Amino acid sequence: MPAPTMTSDAFVRGEDPTAGIDRPQDLPENLVAGKDALVRVVDRFPMKISPYFLGLVRSADDPLGRQVIPHPAELLDAAGADDPLAEERQSPAPQVLHRYPQRVVFLVSNQCAVHCRFCMRKRRVAGGRQVSAAAIEAGLAYIRGHAEINEVILSGGDPLMLPDGRLFAILQDLRRMAHVRLLRLHTRVPMALPERVTPELAALLSRFHPLYVNLHSNHPGEITVQSAAACGLLADAGIALGSQSVLLGGVNDDAEVLKMLFEGLLAIRVKPYYLHQLDRVPGTAHFQVPLARGLALMDALRGRLSGMAIPHYMIDLPGGGGKVALTPDAIVAKHPTHWRVRNWLGTVYDYPCGDSPKR
């Protein structure tokens, strides 16, 4: 395939599409008070908010503000681990996570449109430095050399923060590998920076079918005219869309909110795919929702929602145990502080289930 000439408008104008608000001092006065305290938080956990997403926020403590605006509670929580899923240990090549036999995650970007305060890859994206061409080539070489790999998931950071030409080159290299049958792309961009999704980008992605896009959306307030149009461009290009949401205290830990979110996603042609339990990185205790509460919310949705709109409730086991749908068959035992959960290999892991502090 010849390299595409199309790029997003921001790239054409020479602007930095990754730019966002990264200092508490620059937040609007009506959204936050006590900015000096937030500076200390950002020194530990950097912030970044796209102007678009900030425009949706009505207060620092509304469901959208809680996701992106720093809070002093982050400095009160030192529990958890910087790499709770042991990804670094399961990274046999630069930017490649190889946890399952036939599937890899390829971390092609370290940049995001927003820094979610609960991000489980803070260690990678906080610096904002882009992945080097050498690291990308080393990752491609690893995938090329392992014929058992039939699915590659582009993630990061956010792969849609790459320029069109660089994203095209990566996809083209992957599509040339006969053993790679499925390509998947995980992104927050349609909800956090929808202007990045242009007709040119949708046309570019459509050249690599079968290609699937899972977007990240946590609250019905993220479904706007702009985000719906971005999803429409992708869907019209024949790209199957799914969503991955995170269960977050004070954001979406309510059956009615989840119902509105999943119905709203389905209405813009996005299939709710996963509802993730929060991965416990430091600074996120105030978002934690007990496992029993998560199961109760899922029970409350059944019968009230189309089966098409109900995602799997997923936990990612510590130590690299992998993803598990939280079903009765997977739960081996329940203890006051933790549950014992069986993964796809039959190995049993302890998973913390305690209540979270509220802010």
Cα angle 211, 48, 203 (rounded to 5 degrees) comes to: 25
Mean pLDDT across the stretch 124-152? 90
- Residue 347 in any domain: the answer is no
Is the per-residue pLDDT at 268 higher than 70?
yes
- Residue 266 in any domain: the answer is yes
Host domain of residue 49: 9-328
Q: Please, what is the angle between helix 133-144 and helix 164-175, to 10°?
A: 20
Tens-place pLDDT, residues 139-192? 999 999 999 999 999 998 999 999 999 999 999 999 999 999 999 999 999 999
Instruction: Please report the pLDDT score of residue 35 as a whole number.
Output: 86
- Residue 1 in any domain: the answer is no
Instruction: Please report the pLDDT score of residue 18 as a whole number.
Output: 56
Q: How far is CA 76 from the centre of its chain?
A: 24
Helix or strand holding residue 272 (H, E): strand 271-276
Contact 237, 211 (CB under 8 A): no
Tens-place pLDDT, residues 236-256? 999 999 999 999 999 999 999
What pTM does this model have? 0.90
Tokens standing for 186? 């995980």
- Give the single-character DSSP code of 49: B
Is the per-residue pLDDT at 8 higher than 50?
no
Contacts of 64 (CB under 8 A, 6+ apart): 53, 56, 57, 58, 219, 221, 222
Tokens standing for 138? 């080393």
Which residue in 328, 310, 327, 322 sits closest to 347, CA to CA?
322
How far apart CA 81 and CA 59 sit, in angstroms, is 29
- Residue 161 in any domain: the answer is yes
- pLDDT over 70 for what percent of the chain? 92
Q: How far is CA 198 from the centre of its chain?
A: 20
CB atoms within 10 A of CB 183: 21
Tens-place pLDDT, residues 86-113? 777 888 999 999 999 999 999 999 999 9
Tens-place pLDDT, residues 284-309? 999 999 999 999 999 999 989 999 99
Give the pairing of strands 331-334 and 338-342. antiparallel
Among all residues, which ones are annotated catalytic?
A: 99-100, 103, 112, 116, 119, 121, 279, 316, 323
Q: Please, what is the angle between helix 291-301 and helix 255-267, to 10°?
A: 60
126 band by pLDDT with thresholds 50, 70 and 90: low
Is the per-residue pLDDT at 6 higher than 50?
no
- Residue 321 in any domain: the answer is yes
Count of domains forming the chain: 1
127 band by pLDDT with thresholds 50, 70 and 90: low
- Residue 293 in any domain: the answer is yes
Instruction: Please report the pLDDT score of residue 355 as a whole number.
Output: 58
- Residue 338 in any domain: the answer is no
Average pLDDT over the chain, rounded to an integer: 89
How far apart CA 350 and CA 315 sit, in angstroms, is 12
- Residue 52 in any domain: the answer is yes
Residue that the structure tokens 């959204």 belong to:
31
Strand order in the sheet with 331-334: 331-334, 338-342, 348-352
Coil, strand or helix at 348:
strand
Rg (CA), the chain: 20
What CATH number is associated with residue 308?
A: 3.20.20.70
